[in-house]
Structure 1
């Protein structure tokens, strides 16, 4: 990990949300650093060691540059680097084209980092605190209040909407809070013994890879998402948190038993069903980086599960087969959802998993999928069919999920929709859905994923703040586009506009609902789309726990799109 400590370098003393706002002196930064035990560091763009010319701290360094080039598309490397973002545009200032990037498609190419190209700070926070305890966060909030420095919360760098970066900001880096423990009879603080449930308590920086391994060691199941280096206690869960087993186990927010959080008013609070219940409700779907800084969470642990897995694929280049493939999955998806299947459907393959059926039942119900893909075999050498039983979620995760996450080291733009069961209700509705999928796919520049990870069999009991549309949805569909390296601002704007336009085919036939963590940066009517009727209450809770709006992020509850901290968006 490349770290420049505060003591070793001095950036410009002016670090503020806007040039017209207050000036922060070097003495004030030094005082903050001293008060937190030297854990204030200078934020440096990941590719800085590769550049001869730079307007940032740091120096050219051949050894460090080689490590950056080797790790540029490796999420396990990126998650350890403060200056790295899984989708690289969020370390850039897109509106001004200030950036510090190498070529993600040809990492050995020196051209992007050679003169006259200059490494610029972009949206990488120029300072960050390596958070280790509540005191670090309290002091950051006080510093921001006094000096007008905008704050962001950064965990693993998995962020499709730029919520963990901002120009001229101070970041709270929670990555190193990685404790894990299991209690067979976890009782939330302030609750009676009758509330005891098996729970895994995890630091904010704990990632899915480590959590799944820990669960296997303890013979339990912990629900996770599909990005192996995403953090389970951060934006993933606070935004909802879907995963392959969400159909039967619920979203991440359904399973949280407790949060420990530092609020912008400086309070270190425990939020659960017995105390600070309004905050607990808000954190269960209201979004990360909004109501405070979560230091740890406890999630429900389930017994070890035997899983049935179905996989079918044909050649990616066999695009003529996609419509027929979509017709099969659309015609069967409600039944499969009722049988507990979750999974991921690409235009050329489908992966399904359920804990509710035995192997015979699983193979029988998946037969229409297997039959269709098998029918392609005479002309398609890429056909593959798989039906198997696995002894645990950890085995499933390592076999199908751990190495199959979204690409990193490139700029990504996405848009999403929740597709309700009503769209599958009759022949006309299913035909319209297939048409919309084909039209959307034709207008994406990367890919489209039909994500069957909705909590279809977990009713809405009012205990979470995600949009109720999750409970009636069969799919969460993500349209994906992007670009590599630096591009003219107009071209970047076109990429965002293009992916939003692609999603319009699905918007036209579905209610106003999308997943906030994986949504269009310019999602129209985002308050309703992300939270439905829950938004007014969320706003009240936001104003209670963050009255001065110290935590503000794009499309988060109570955000102001005209705030200077969003000046790098296009």
Structure 2
């Protein structure tokens, strides 16, 4: 592991920070460091080694070897996840409101201009201090320190956070990335439950990332529902926000499958939450969002048997934009039927990838014929046409063949907007036509892409056991519009990017109910309490106040957040 730290620890931490309490004494920091076994570290922006000049209080130094590693690793999520000072979307390590940042160009990582004078590496929103969390005691000590000093706390796992919830200026971070244990129990009994509750379960530390979890499941001949991004931590915000994946249509969201959480609450209690104890907290954690009800150290998720999967893939040239409307028309015409047949997957404006465990190869090829026929019809003038219908022996094989080398952009500034699109929008000729129109309008207004994610739990009914919005259960697609900008730009341009992506999603908002996926949402999502949680927000807020009466853990658009808090001073 290659992590940038500073040998000038006490020199740097005593300099204070313009957005955090400046009167924390060196003795207090030293006492905290001693109490956590010397694992209190300086948070250094990942690009710091490439800068010859740094702002006040920014630790680290110019280093050609380390800079070369940063330039080579920039854009690689598995590199970023190992660096505390790195965020997958780099604006969340910056202070956007002041344009204070420390980044290189994601478009041209070898370009020296962003890191050369007069540009200066600034701390931005990278927490100036962090604890490398290894057990519950570390979290408890941090909570006590925060209450005594007023230093705000944030929880950072892998840095896959589209809304800046794992960074804050002048904060102390709890870095859970190194909690990477994995174990399998074929008869896991949640603590406090009778033996009759035994189910096969995989217990994973908060820092366990999806690529390792998929490999572990494959080695044990089981299936675990995960997302598509290799370096996401499956016990963190992914599952607590809902957690969708290619198999969610038939196996459920991550929250549907979690059996137990081990968590330190903001009052310092180390609790086990499952269906037999702390059941209100268990419900809240199953969709209420990460970084707000406590610090999860591990979770246990339901394991299913290894399963044979049918895969359908169709694509044409990205540049063949004239084919996109017809492509959408075929998808909209058939997607309810495909959802009923268990298909989940990922759709770009020029390609579709579907997978199901419910059909055999003949059935899969037959039901996908309209998609294959349309794309094949483009072949005479489009050399980029591809058609594939295949059977794979496991989810691990599917992941390695289709997902492991893909993923969302890393090392760039990104603005997202999202919408859950229900089956009602597919039910009539008029509603289908309106949906295609809205998709085309949204696509015309995004600067990056529009992804239609068919990973909703359409065949998994709402039992009331989770706190995600009920809209997940009737949705066919989770649509994600994405825009962004490169390197450092004026505040006006940053605001324009967020406004632009929100306006792009407005075309879909106009024809759908208020429902969005909190982990990938517009940071200015209108009516976010309903969009993220449906009818559940009032109960979630009650539980929040019970387990965090002082609102020690707070994050943007999380349950009970206060938008006037100084910790949000870098948002635009």
- Partner residue, 1:46: 46
Deviations along 1:265-291, whole A, 9 cap, x unmatched?
Answer: 000000000000000000000000010
| Residue 245 of structure 1 pairs with residue 247 of structure 2 | yes
Distance in 2 (CA, whole Å) between partners of 1:110 and 1:7 is 26
8 Å Cα contact 2:6-2:59 kept in structure 1: no
8 Å Cα contact 2:9-2:41 kept in structure 1: no
- Partner residue, 1:355: 357
| Residue 337 of structure 1 pairs with residue 339 of structure 2 | yes
| Residue 434 of structure 1 pairs with residue 436 of structure 2 | yes
Distance in 2 (CA, whole Å) between partners of 1:102 and 1:438 is 33
- Partner residue, 1:396: 398
- Partner residue, 2:323: 321
Distance in 1 (CA, whole Å) between partners of 2:98 and 2:11 is 24
Q: What is the deviation of 1:105? A: 1.0
8 Å Cα contact 1:6-1:42 kept in structure 2: no
Distance in 2 (CA, whole Å) between partners of 1:300 and 1:46 is 36
Q: What is the deviation of 1:17? A: 8.6
Q: Gaps spanning 5+ residues in structure 2: where?
A: none
- Partner residue, 1:185: 187
Distance in 1 (CA, whole Å) between partners of 2:13 and 2:255 is 41
8 Å Cα contact 1:306-1:389 kept in structure 2: yes
Partner of 1:84: helix, strand, or coil? coil
| Residue 212 of structure 1 pairs with residue 214 of structure 2 | yes
Partner of 2:477: helix, strand, or coil? strand
Partner of 2:534: helix, strand, or coil? helix
Partner of 2:12: helix, strand, or coil? coil
Distance in 2 (CA, whole Å) between partners of 1:218 and 1:384 is 33
Equivalent residue runs for 1:267-286 within 5 Å: 267-286=269-288
- Partner residue, 2:535: 533
Q: What is the deviation of 1:4? A: 2.2
Equivalent residue runs for 1:79-478 within 5 Å: 79-478=81-480
Size of the aligned set, in residue pairs, is 569
Distance in 2 (CA, whole Å) between partners of 1:278 and 1:10 is 44
Distance in 1 (CA, whole Å) between partners of 2:279 and 2:331 is 40
Deviations along 1:93-140, whole A, 9 cap, x unmatched?
Answer: 000010001111111111111111100000000000000000000000
- Partner residue, 1:2: 3
Distance in 2 (CA, whole Å) between partners of 1:11 and 1:382 is 54
Distance in 1 (CA, whole Å) between partners of 2:165 and 2:12 is 23
C-alpha spacing 1:353/1:487, structure 2 compared with 1 (3 Å)? same
| Residue 502 of structure 1 pairs with residue 518 of structure 2 | no
Q: Gaps spanning 5+ residues in structure 1: where?
A: none
Distance in 2 (CA, whole Å) between partners of 1:540 and 1:386 is 50
Distance in 1 (CA, whole Å) between partners of 2:541 and 2:323 is 47
8 Å Cα contact 1:261-1:270 kept in structure 2: yes
Deviations along 1:432-467, whole A, 9 cap, x unmatched?
Answer: 000000000000000000000000000000000000
Q: What is the deviation of 1:546? A: 0.5
C-alpha spacing 1:544/1:15, structure 2 compared with 1 (3 Å)? farther
8 Å Cα contact 2:8-2:59 kept in structure 1: no
8 Å Cα contact 2:90-2:413 kept in structure 1: yes
Deviations along 1:203-236, whole A, 9 cap, x unmatched?
Answer: 0000000000000100000000011000000000
Partner of 2:78: helix, strand, or coil? helix
Distance in 2 (CA, whole Å) between partners of 1:565 and 1:283 is 23
Distance in 2 (CA, whole Å) between partners of 1:14 and 1:140 is 20
Partner of 2:552: helix, strand, or coil? coil
Equivalent residue runs for 1:508-519 within 5 Å: 508-519=510-521
Q: What is the deviation of 1:2? A: 2.5
Deviations along 1:241-262, whole A, 9 cap, x unmatched?
Answer: 0000000000000000000000
- Partner residue, 1:24: 24
Distance in 2 (CA, whole Å) between partners of 1:288 and 1:460 is 21
Distance in 1 (CA, whole Å) between partners of 2:16 and 2:157 is 22
Distance in 2 (CA, whole Å) between partners of 1:162 and 1:395 is 33
8 Å Cα contact 2:155-2:295 kept in structure 1: yes
Deviations along 1:501-543, whole A, 9 cap, x unmatched?
Answer: 0000000000000000000000001000000110000000000
8 Å Cα contact 1:9-1:57 kept in structure 2: no
Q: TM-score, normalised by structure 2?
A: 0.98
8 Å Cα contact 1:16-1:150 kept in structure 2: no
Q: What is the deviation of 1:169? A: 0.2
Q: What is the deviation of 1:10? A: 2.2
Distance in 1 (CA, whole Å) between partners of 2:349 and 2:566 is 40
C-alpha spacing 1:16/1:106, structure 2 compared with 1 (3 Å)? closer
| Residue 13 of structure 1 pairs with residue 14 of structure 2 | yes
Distance in 2 (CA, whole Å) between partners of 1:367 and 1:424 is 19
Partner of 1:11: helix, strand, or coil? helix
8 Å Cα contact 1:16-1:148 kept in structure 2: no
- Partner residue, 1:35: 35
Distance in 1 (CA, whole Å) between partners of 2:385 and 2:44 is 46
Distance in 2 (CA, whole Å) between partners of 1:60 and 1:408 is 23
- Partner residue, 1:542: 544
Partner of 2:354: helix, strand, or coil? strand
8 Å Cα contact 1:310-1:388 kept in structure 2: yes
Distance in 2 (CA, whole Å) between partners of 1:427 and 1:155 is 45
Partner of 1:175: helix, strand, or coil? coil
